[in-house]
Structure 1
Amino acid sequence: MHPDKELLIPASQADSSAINARTRRGRIQMLLLLLVCASPVIASYFTYYMIKPEGGKTSFGTLVYPAQEFNNAWLSVPLQGKWTLLVARPAGECSIKDEKCIEALFLMRQTRVAMGRESKRVQLVWVNTDGKSADPEVLKAYDEQAAGLIIVAPPTDPKLKVEFDAWLNKEGAGNDIQLVDPSPAKMMVFPVTNSPKEFSSLKKDVEKLLKLNHKGENL
């Protein structure tokens, strides 16, 4: 073939090829950007549902699938960037004599302590659902200074409160300890227990998550 004939490409086809190439590059760049933005959520799902042995089974907690996104506007303390153990209890009913409430606070505190050097990656949140003052004796053992337990009020805005209550109580988990990942989204729930064996299993669940997943954290 004559060299000159190799250059006889219609201009419209040349322009179309260039446009198509730029479009492909733009789509690839957009997909890469979306993957970077979504990486904390993807990592959480991968940790829970792919890496866990025996098909995603846990030692004690119940996996939440699909994960239930948390709206940071609901509470005054941000949950994004931290692993959070959250419980909701009315302070007016939570006294030293109320074993159910104290067991929940104790379990959260001891789980965080059991994480050792990794404990700074876990925050504890108590949603005071009735707005009453907490029992002074309870605060001595379970306030932010003594136990790292942050006490917050539920949303005051009616719309936000309805949304938060629905998220909290979904699938009957309102009285459970709820684990929120750094994205933030509820990924697991734990029943309150006073069994040493069950506490050990809960600790193993949280330890495994902290070991396998550092994505999206803000320490």
Structure 2
Amino acid sequence: MSGSESSNPAAGAEPLRFTVHSLPRAELADEARRVRAGRWKLLGLVLFAALPVIASYFTYYVIRPEGRTNYAELIVPPRPLPALTLTDLDGRRVDAASLKGQWLLVVVGPAACGEGCEQRLFLQRQLREMTGRERDRVDKLWLVTDDAPVAAALREALAAPPATQVLRVPAAELAAWLAAAPGESLDAHLYIVDPMGQWMMRAPVRPDPARLKRDLERLLRASSSWDRPGR
């Protein structure tokens, strides 16, 4: 009897099935738990790093001191920088992501910069200098929306330190990011972009420099805990 039981193939099948199948399932479950735990830890680190940015924007957008108003129009929600097709005036490609890391004062328009364009470029330079010791956190950018040549005298003036970065961009791509006020053209405004590449403020047409300066100073103060000069 005992001999027949020991020779029965079914008698040893159950332990073998446990060894071959159940043990790997347990190991896979442990691995899955470790992966989930790692993802939660990574998410926690990302959130911790982003807390200063979130706090500054929450303070600026939500916890506003009573009676405070913005002169320029806040863009809510801010519009992130898209993958624009950018080239410098010599035709070299420029990565759009390279614009991140600094506050940007942005002027847009065709290469044939008329009187209004020149006034906005002057305002751009003036605003940066008016921020005093914070000016190294602010860059000037002119986005040219056509392929026409920029006058040599203007190129020379914009290259004078601190230089204004001049880049060409297709007008249709730019219009998918920036937008004019109703009834105005895209090149009628000065735009403010934060160091994360988000367009977040639009100046009025023919703005008051002193009032616009106060807006820019508030933005710089609100971001002082996480934004530093340079990219």
TM-score by structure 1 length? 0.71
C-alpha displacement at 1:36, in angstroms?
A: 3.8
C-alpha displacement at 1:185, in angstroms?
A: 0.4
Residue of structure 2 aligned with 1:67, choices 69, 78, 86: 78
Distance change in 2, residues 1:171/1:178 (3 Å): same
Residue of structure 2 aligned with 1:183, choices 196, 203, 225: 196
Residue of structure 1 aligned with 2:167, choices 132, 141, 152: 152
Residue of structure 1 aligned with 2:57, choices 45, 55, 58: 45
Distance 2:67 2:43 in 1: 29
Cα deviations by residue, 1:147-171 (Å, 9 ceiling, x for unpaired):
521111104xxxxx64432112366
Distance change in 2, residues 1:34/1:71 (3 Å): same
Distance 1:167 1:216 in 2: 23
**2:212 aligned residue:** 202
Residue of structure 1 aligned with 2:99, choices 75, 79, 91: 79
1:43/1:213 contact within 8 Å kept: no
One-letter code aligned to 1:50: V
Secondary structure of 2:178 counterpart: helix
One-letter code aligned to 1:133: P
Secondary structure of 1:57 counterpart: coil
More helix per residue: 1 or 2?
1
Any unmatched runs of 5+ in structure 2? 1-25, 87-93
Residue of structure 1 aligned with 2:117, choices 91, 98, 101: 101
RMSD of the TM alignment (CA)? 3.2
Residue of structure 2 aligned with 1:32, choices 20, 35, 44: 44
C-alpha displacement at 1:72, in angstroms?
A: 5.0
Distance 1:51 1:73 in 2: 33
Distance change in 2, residues 1:180/1:132 (3 Å): same
C-alpha displacement at 1:107, in angstroms?
A: 0.8
**1:128 aligned residue:** 144
**2:16 aligned residue:** none
| Greater gyration radius | 2
C-alpha displacement at 1:55, in angstroms?
A: 7.3
| Count of equivalent residues | 189
Distance 1:40 1:184 in 2: 17
Secondary structure of 1:81 counterpart: coil
**2:66 aligned residue:** 54
2:147/2:168 contact within 8 Å kept: yes
